[in-house]
Structure 1
Amino acid sequence: MSTARVEGPAWVRDAVFWHVYPLGFVGAEKEGDPQGPVVHRLPHLVGWLDHLLALGANGLLLGPVFASQTHGYDTVDHRRVDPRLGDDADLDALLSAAREKGVRVLLDGVFNHVGRDHWAFRQVLEQGPSASTASWFRLRWPEGGWRPGVEPDYDDFEGHHHLVALDHSSPAVVDHVAEVMSHWLDRGADGWRLDAAYAVPTAFWAQVADRVRERHPDAYLLGEVIHGDYAGVVREGHLDAVTQYELWKAVWSSLVEGNLWELSHALGRHAEFLEAFTPQTFVGNHDVTRIASRLDDDRHLAHALVVLLGVGGTPSVYYGDEHAYRGVKEDREGGDDDVRPSFPAAPEELSPVGLPVFHRHQELVALRRRHRWLHAARPSVVSVENRRLVVASEDPSGGGERLLLALSLEDEEVALEAPGAREVLAGDGARLDGDRVVLPPHGWAVLAG
């Protein structure tokens, strides 16, 4: 078996995504009627593409847009836009507007399970074991046999009975998913985020990915994986990348606990992943408490951003994080609402209170753009203490460029060893003193070395 590094499509090497949960962003109703009237809300997103570009991003990671019953992850038709968002023409217009501005778009594919009202499962409920789609699901029929009104038992997603698990050993499911993905790539999408990829056999992803790439070799396929063998899922599933939850957790946890050893360990793991593929990195998304709410010291928000944008990976910024939005995810019904808010009609309506954080994002994204080799660079820890950390990254192509990240959580000014550092590229109040970088209390710096 080959262990060659997975590079993914060439365009991803320069990708920085703005991640949007569309149903929340446009203020759609929490409950949807897939057969209800169409409300044209997707055009609202078109007006925010310039905000994405002003941030320095060039990709739109779009949450669920397909017909569903509630939150978008209970899909009832993968080939139809949710009427709460609009129709096919609205999505086509968004994809076209993005393409004209040079913005790549990833769609969110929920292919581990479907909502109970998905047309294929409705056929099973109406027709019983003889339904042409009965092989799509992992069903257990009652011993007394089927008659109208009798419902089978079935596997679901993590105990959520309204989310019916697909049978990924079924050739019909392979056909369906490959065709859905290709259909929307034909329409102008650039790739897919594969929801709950960790719950799906890698052999299924491999079959689907191979078929999709026959028609769309430049499609980017990103799997949502929380725990497990990241490199193995990429390799065996023929994917380009998976989500880097290990680094996400270490970033906020180490800053809150004042334990940069945890971040140091995670960066070592991250470097190992980068030997095999380039992970998708983030400090916020639609499923987690916002980084500004996780941290107990606002001064450390910059530290989180420095790690996100200063080490290898394909980074994404979750909408609102660029303005230090707050929101806490809770384990209850509706517990995601706080991290999936609506956005105003236009960027100029955002509160100016968040502009310093927006400008910090711009600064660090621009720095990343000037060092595009960071995408695949493997970080190496130079020194670490409980509240101090210095990390180096070198141009993997051998071009000779090198960056140092220095972080301090100390209450007083500190001097950290920064071997080879020549210039402070970013960091308020940071300065060089020989081979050391001097940081103010709770300071940070990015250095050319």
Structure 2
Amino acid sequence: MPAWPEHVIWWHVYPLGFVGAPIRDGEGPDAEVAHRLDRLEPWLDHVIELGLNGVLLGPVFASETHGYDTVDHFRIDPRLGDDEDFSRLVAAARERGIRILLDGVFNHVGREHAAFRALTEEGPNLFRGRWVGDRFEPDVFEGHDALVALDHSSPAVVELVVEVMCHWLDRGIDGWRLDAAYAVPSSFWAEVLPRVRERFPDVWFLGEVIHGDAVEIVRASSMDSLTQYELWQGIWHGLSDRNLFELSHAIERHDALLATFVPQTFVGNHDVTRIASAVGADLVPHALAVLFTVAGTPSVYAGDEFGWTGVKEDRLGGDDAVRPAFPAHSGDVEPDSRILQAHQALIALRRRKPWLWRAHTDVVEVSNTAVVLRTAVGDDAVVVALNIGDEPVSLPVADGSVLVAGEGAPTDGRIALGPRGWAVLEA
């Protein structure tokens, strides 16, 4: 495990949506190159101004539609640009001390992938499925006919993924988000990842895992981190359902993972309803207070810092609302100032206290609508007090004495919070 992830906080971007590229209406892997990727560069200063220092890029490789139906892992999607555009983006990030994580879709590919189109019974088979006469019937990913499953028992697939990873690491990226990692046998990752680490010892591997035994997956696969969907659910369900016992339970389970690995934490990403829509704008700071004070490698989904809304729907195009185009510059956005300020204050706290990355959190007090959390190492502590109810409350704040974000002032070890009030304090 490299040391740098302890200090990184990601800004998560879905590039095709960000730059306004067409997703389903004709442009695809054979389109003329449109140099849209440079639209990201002006936003790198916004990343720094927020206090972040990493950009987690969604799919950038040539694909048929949404980016997760890859047709060429070695080519930038022409709807985004070309190799030179990518090199300029990486260089611009490097100049600002920003790390880059790429989204690697290695469970499946699109049907227009050259290897699939050229598939014959005699040729090397990269795909899982069966021959029926002279026709190959591939397995597909979770019922999506357009997503053809790779055969992870094939040495050729191992070689392909190692080659792809090393190619882009050599181009200057810092690591990989492994899309749908839960659908890939851990034994495959255990074969691939050590070979990549031999060449790039500082690489970091984040697996997208939405269910399963997280500890066993990390141990068996050798991945460094997994997406923490259970904590995400505990945060937004706890807030939206007015049941902070669910949040408390999720934090306790989250802490149990720390003996094995540090999860990647979030309250929004490209696959889920935006946090402001999930819990309401007035409770977004409460969600952020948890995100930035419990252990983990946090990420901010681009636009959440402005209080943007968007509901994911289970239909064709159902992700569009949470994957919008961005304006040319951050100055063109009119943010929810309360939400933006909460991001800035809490990210600054996180940067000042890197020990939060792997620190345990104690639940000091909890009810359906109020909770107090204390995260500490030695004499250094951060205390979070949240009220999601409609009545004022008085809560114990242990050794929290200096208000960092939120509202109120501690008196005799307690803090008074108004309806929907919140406070983050330092010892």
Corresponding position of 1:265: 249
Contact 1:61 1:106 (8 Å CA) reproduced: yes
Residue 213 (structure 2) pairs with residue 229 (structure 1): yes
CA displacement 1:223-251 (0-9 Å, x = unmatched) = 00001111211111101100000011111
* Equivalent residues, number: 425
Alignment of 1:385-396 (within 5 A): 385-395=367-377
Corresponding position of 2:356: 374
Contact 1:412 1:441 (8 Å CA) reproduced: yes
Q: Give the drift of 1:279.
A: 0.5
Contact 1:157 1:163 (8 Å CA) reproduced: yes
Corresponding position of 2:389: 410
CA displacement 1:298-348 (0-9 Å, x = unmatched) = 221110010111111100000110001110100000100110000001111
Partner of residue 14 from structure 2, selected from 4, 15, 21: 21
- 1:426 and 1:26 map into 2 onto residues whose CA distance is 33
Corresponding position of 1:101: 96
Residue 303 (structure 2) pairs with residue 320 (structure 1): yes
- 1:282 and 1:319 map into 2 onto residues whose CA distance is 12
More displaced 10-residue stretch of structure 1: 439-448 or 105-114? 439-448
Q: Which amino acid aligns with 1:314?
A: T
Corresponding position of 2:341: 359
Q: TM-score, normalised by structure 2?
A: 0.98
Task: Call closer, same or farther: CA 1:424–1:49 in 2, change over 3 Å.
Answer: same
Please give the secondary structure, in 2, of the residue aligned with 1:209: helix
Partner of residue 277 from structure 2, selected from 280, 288, 293: 293
Partner of residue 128 from structure 2, selected from 123, 130, 138: 138
CA displacement 1:116-137 (0-9 Å, x = unmatched) = 011111110xxx20123x2x11
Contact 1:422 1:448 (8 Å CA) reproduced: yes
Alignment of 1:238-317 (within 5 A): 238-295=222-279, 297-317=280-300
Corresponding position of 1:4: none
Contact 1:275 1:378 (8 Å CA) reproduced: no
Corresponding position of 1:5: none
- 1:73 and 1:60 map into 2 onto residues whose CA distance is 18
- 2:405 and 2:243 map into 1 onto residues whose CA distance is 23
Corresponding position of 1:3: none
Please give the secondary structure, in 2, of the residue aligned with 1:76: strand
Q: TM-score, normalised by structure 1?
A: 0.93
Task: Call closer, same or farther: CA 1:420–1:356 in 2, change over 3 Å.
Answer: closer
> Which contiguous aligned blocks of 4+ residues in structure 1 show a shift greater than 6 angstroms?
none
Partner of residue 334 from structure 1, selected from 317, 333, 342: 317
Q: Which segments of 5 or more consecutive residues in structure 2 lack a partner in the other structure?
A: none
Residue 417 (structure 2) pairs with residue 433 (structure 1): no
Partner of residue 380 from structure 2, selected from 401, 405, 412: 401
Contact 2:381 2:399 (8 Å CA) reproduced: no
CA displacement 1:227-280 (0-9 Å, x = unmatched) = 111121111110110000001111111111110000000000010012211100
- 1:394 and 1:244 map into 2 onto residues whose CA distance is 21
Corresponding position of 1:191: 175
Percent of residue pairs bearing the same amino acid type: 56
Q: Which segments of 5 or more consecutive residues in structure 1 lack a partner in the other structure?
A: 1-7
